Amino acid sequence: MTHPREKRFHTRCQEEVYRQVKSYLDELVDEHFDDSEHCDFYLKYGSTVLEISIEPFEEDDAVIDILAFCVQGVEPSAGRGAVVRADAGATAAQLRTAIGRL
């Protein structure tokens, strides 16, 4: 039997932002995967898989990286990227806006 690994946070802020993003995802989407070894979430949005990573930034901040892995075998169209800065005070509306920009 495999034992789940405990998450390791590098800073207290990273942990706070991680827990806040998790609560937003629990509220906003029906299903998401919480990576047990890293501070990552994965969710499917149509044919696209989103990876949301929470990375530490200095001692009192964190960065939320949102990557979109798109389906292969289709013609690309003009896409938009998003760089979003959020901290422990970020709102669900800010997270929705960031995901909506992808």
Most confident range (mean pLDDT) of 16-25, 43-52, 74-83 is 16-25
Residue 34: count of CB within 10 angstroms of its CB: 15
Q: What pLDDT was estimated at residue 82?
A: 45
pLDDT at 81: 47
Check pLDDT > 70 for residue 86.
no
**Mean residue pLDDT across the chain:** 75
Section 34-49 average pLDDT: 81
CA distance 25 to 90: 13
Q: Which of 34, 37, 98, 97 is nearest to 63 (CA)?
A: 98
Q: What is the pLDDT of residues 57-81, one digit of tens each?
A: 888 889 999 988 876 566 666 555 4
Query: Residue with structure tokens 């990227």?
Result: 81
Cα–Cα nearest to 55, from 90, 25, 85 = 85
